[in-house]
Amino acid sequence: MSFAKGPEEANPSWEKYLVTIAATCLSFVIGLFLAAFLMRSFSDGQQTWSAMEFAINLIPHIFGLAGLLASVRFIHNRPILSVITSRKSFDWRRFFFAAGLWLTFQMVFMLMARSAGAPIVFEFSVPKLIPLLLVSLLLLPIQTAFEDIFFRGYLFQGFTKATGKAGASVLAVAVIFGLIHAGNPEMKVLGNIAMVYYIISGLFLGLLAHFDDGLELGMGYHFANNFFGAVIVTNTWQVFQTNALFTDYGEPSFGWELLLPLLVLQPLMLCAFYRIYRWKNPLKRILE
């Protein structure tokens, strides 16, 4: 099965996609209301509840993922696995390899920046780190899985079936992925240039899904990226505000630390995965 096209459906229709998108969005909104209620109940305006606040902020993604998967199963009458991978089962080795590789890259460049004088301060606290680590390991995979499955699984397959052009679908989904991050705090601090980061990263993840016929590599990368931003290094202006191991007190800027992944590391990872997993005709598949 081609992951871009997904399995054949008995009664395909655009109405199913419309209902599924609506159900997913409604589920996410219900999660937002619940999160807002819990935040008012638990938040004391201080960092004491950092891990709790972080967990509450991830609740909408749990609801969104539940609504999406239920819709795929009962509205489309498709196996849930069909929007995740074309393989017979989820390839955990791909997931952990991509996660470990990207986490290693991030750690190395963070330590290089710190040794070069960047104001990255070590603020280790066991009582704060343990609950944060538990929340990150339990809930971050759900948060990243929801975004990956919805955009680079469900919508990617839907656009490809509608247009017959997988390459164009990758680009369309990447743009949508960037636009839905328009409300993130980074946009206010860095300006619209931050949108470039999300669109290009979405393009990279979309190409991974298309070339590898599954989401495992992209899900591993996405989880490692968010885990790093939540547990390893935080700052005062990004979307995740946590009691991480390090805090970056540098001035917000769209500098080499953001350009390096986009222009160097992501292309290198595509080349590495191409060699390791022996993708066939990736350049040709962009034009499919």
pLDDT in tens, the chain (288 residues): 689 988 887 777 889 999 999 999 999 999 999 999 998 877 655 544 578 889 999 999 999 999 999 999 999 999 999 999 999 999 999 999 999 999 999 999 899 889 988 899 998 888 889 999 999 999 999 999 999 999 999 999 999 999 989 999 999 999 999 998 887 777 778 777 888 889 999 999 999 999 999 999 999 999 999 999 999 998 877 777 788 999 988 877 766 677 888 888 999 999 999 999 999 888 788 877
Please state, in angstroms and rounded to a whole number, the distance separating the CA atoms of residues 44 and 38.
12
Predicted local distance difference test score (pLDDT) of residue 111: 92
- Asked if 35 and 91 count as a contact pair (C-beta separation under 8 A), the reply is no
* Contact (CB, 8 A) for 287 and 171: no
Q: Which residues contact 279 (CB under 8 A, 6 or more apart)?
A: 211, 212, 273
| pTM for this prediction | 0.93
Q: What is the pLDDT of residue 1?
A: 61
* 147 neighbors 238 (Cβ within 8 angstroms): no
Note the pLDDT of residue 140. 96
Exposure letters 53-63 (e unless 16+ CB within 10 A, then b): bbbbbbbbbbb
